[in-house]
Structure 1
Amino acid sequence: MDKPLKTPPPYPITSVDHALRAATILQMEGGATVSEIAERLGVARSTAHRLLAMLVYRDFAVQDEDRVYRAGPVLELAAHSQSLVSRLRATALPHLHRAVDVLDETTNLIIRTGDTARFIASVECHQALRVGSREGMVFPAHRTTAGLLLLADLTDEELDEVYSLARYHDRPGDRPDLPRLRTELKRLRRNGFAVNQERSERGLVAIGVPVRDQDGTAVAGLSVSMPSVRYDAHRLQALVAVLNATARALERDLAA
């Protein structure tokens, strides 16, 4: 098993977390108003306004003539990627909420960018002990449920390009064992789902399925995350069935 990657800091600073999440929203989705940022972060409009003003001051954001805040010069993301991420997230959110209503566990939507997996949407469940929102967080793709599923959609040549030695010249220890990874991806293709037991974070178990476009290409991964103490392997098939039903409904909405 890979060494767990991320552990939440023991003394999180809420204001810093809010500012970073706001910057991530602008970078990944192209723009937002004060009210939209306030709703996404669960803070007052005045708090959101102060956060955005500081991001503008530090060039992480700019405000256009329509009073919409957008990514500033410090943040970079291609315009077509912003549009795709924004559409995926907006279409997926109602489905994530419905999955939470059924499973009462946190659900997520993840995309792959190169060798990383990005959480673009996350809906928390209502249980006291729960996996918090991972929205905006980035992990190595081979350490996450959805990242593995999206890697499994690649050809051997595409996988070689993602994990080329040249890309890892300065960080060879971060490059996964490709023969072992290929074996795992082959199993995932056969199963159609993935299970992550404390691979990316301690105390967390996640199950995921792919979300495909009309051509059959996996464009995102849909996952449910829960504390490992609550995971019961006997529920696996039921969890996968709910995720598959949610993914198919999402695919129909994306096609429409």
Structure 2
Amino acid sequence: MKNKPPYAIESVDHALHLASLLQQEGPLRVTDAADRLDVSASTAHRLLAMLVYRDFAEQQPDRRYRAGRVLRPTPVSEAPIALLRRIALPHLRRLVERVQESANLMVMAGPEVRFIATAECEQVLRVGDRAGRSLPTHLTSGGKAILAALPAEELTALYRGCDQVDLPRLRRELGLVRKRGFAINDQSTETGLTALGMRVDGPSGTPAAAVSLALPSARFDRDALATWIGAVSATVAAIEADLAAG
């Protein structure tokens, strides 16, 4: 289970986080970067200047910064990232207050999910901030919740020729996800981490994102599963209602 190192170098963390934002979400102004990292505009400007120097970023004619040539091209999510994050974060925080475990919001971009928001719990042993990270869709709880809603032909097209995915087995697992209404990731992405995920539908009824509740596997208790799923379901319903209201 990966959490922030106890002696983290904050400037390095900020630079890496900023690079991932440029890669995954597109061009940013200096003020946008400062807001996302919770730093001053002058600090954001210095971080961006260093990324430009190392070809992780480049400045456009409109003075915004975009991903540079060093960052590999990745599929772009069609989800409205900024809107999803703004709407979901208050609900994620309320979910964390209720169950005292960390919560995430993620979107699917091809064979990966991108974590776009995290609300951390305050327990000493906890799952840390995942914002900016990408993981294989078929291994994460939220990713499986989204995949379970895809048409069969779209799922086949997504994983055709992918040796890392046993498609018949994945189809069986997604059938169980559809029946239950939620998905579980039991240490498939990180040793010592268990997560529960549910899909968030947009106003059109198509999957827009997913919410996951992530906790140390040592605290996973099947007797608490109904309580956790009920809390996640209420959070998903609240996010969907706010998305529908615009």
Residues 158 and 229 of structure 1: CA distance in aligned 2, closer, same or farther (over 3 Å): same
- Amino acid paired to 2:198: V
Residue 148 (str. 1) matches residue 116 (str. 2): no
2: CA distance, partners of 1:182 / 1:222: 21
Normalized per residue, the structure richer in helix is 1
Aligned residue type for 1:218: P
Structure 1 position 39, deviation (Å)? 5.1
Give the partner amino acid of 2:205: G
Distance 2:205 2:87 in 1: 18
| Match of residue 67 from structure 2 | 72
Change (3 A) 1:9 1:164: farther
- Structure 1's unaligned 5+ residue stretches are 1-5
Equivalence for 1:51 = 47
The whole-number CA distance in structure 1 between the counterparts of 2:8 and 2:36 is 19
How far apart are the structure 1 equivalents of 2:22 and 2:119?
Answer: 19
TM-score by length of 2: 0.86
Please report how far the alpha carbon of residue 215 of structure 1 lies from its aligned counterpart in structure 2 after TM superposition: 2.6
**Counterpart in 2 of 1:214?**
203
Q: CA deviation at 1:58?
A: 2.9
* Equivalent residue for 1:237, pick from 204, 214, 226: 226
Contact 2:28-2:66 at 8 Å conserved across structures: no
In structure 2, the residue corresponding to 1:211 is in which secondary structure? strand
Q: Aligned to 1:22, which of 10, 18, 21?
A: 18
Shift of the alpha carbon at 1:77? 6.8
Specify which of 169, 181, 188 is matched with residue 170 of structure 2: 181
- Report the Cα offset of residue 135 of structure 1: 0.9
Q: In the TM superposition, what is the alpha-carbon distance from 1:143 to its structure 2 partner?
A: 0.8
CA displacement at 1:20 relative to structure 2 = 1.7
Kindly indicate whether the alpha-carbon contact (under 8 Å) linking 1:116 and 1:139 is maintained by their aligned counterparts in 2: yes
**Structure 1 residues 126 and 245, CA, compared in 2 at 3 Å: closer, same or farther?**
same
In structure 2, the partner of 1:106 is 102
Q: Secondary structure at the match of 1:136?
A: coil
Distance 1:124 1:38 in 2: 21
Contact 1:109 1:221 in 2 (8 A): yes
How large is the Cα RMSD of the aligned pairs? 2.7
Deviation for aligned residue 1:72:
3.3
Partners of 1:129 and 1:227 within 8 A in 2: yes
- Which residue of 190, 206, 211 corresponds with 1:201? 190
Aligned-partner Cα distance in 2 for 1:154–1:49? 41
Q: CA deviation at 1:176?
A: 1.3
Match for 1:70: what amino acid? Answer: Y
User: Tell me, what secondary structure is at the counterpart of 1:142?
Assistant: coil
The one-letter code sitting in structure 2 at the alignment partner of 1:61 is A
Alpha-carbon spacing, 1:188–1:115, altered in 2? closer, same or farther (3 Å) = same
Letter in structure 2 aligned against 1:19: A
Query: Which residue in 2 is equivalent to 1:3?
Result: none
Extract structure 1 runs of 4+ deviating beyond 6 A.
Answer: 8-12, 77-80
Equivalent of 2:157 in 158, 161, 168: 161
Residue 95 of structure 2 aligns to a residue in which SS?
helix
d(CA) in 1 for partners of 2:2, 2:125? 16
Q: In 2 relative to 1, CA 138–156 (structure 1 residues): closer, same or farther, beyond 3 Å?
A: same
SS at match of 2:18: helix
Shift of 1:115: 1.2
Instruction: Identify the residue that residue 116 of structure 2 maps to in structure 1.
Output: 120
3-state SS of 1:143 partner:
coil
Aligned 8 A contact 1:95 1:249 in 2: yes
TM-score by length of structure 1 reads: 0.83
Q: For the residues of structure 2 that align with 1:78 and 1:131, how far apart are their CA atoms?
A: 27
Percent same amino acid among aligned pairs?
A: 46
Alignment of 1:249 onto 2:225: no
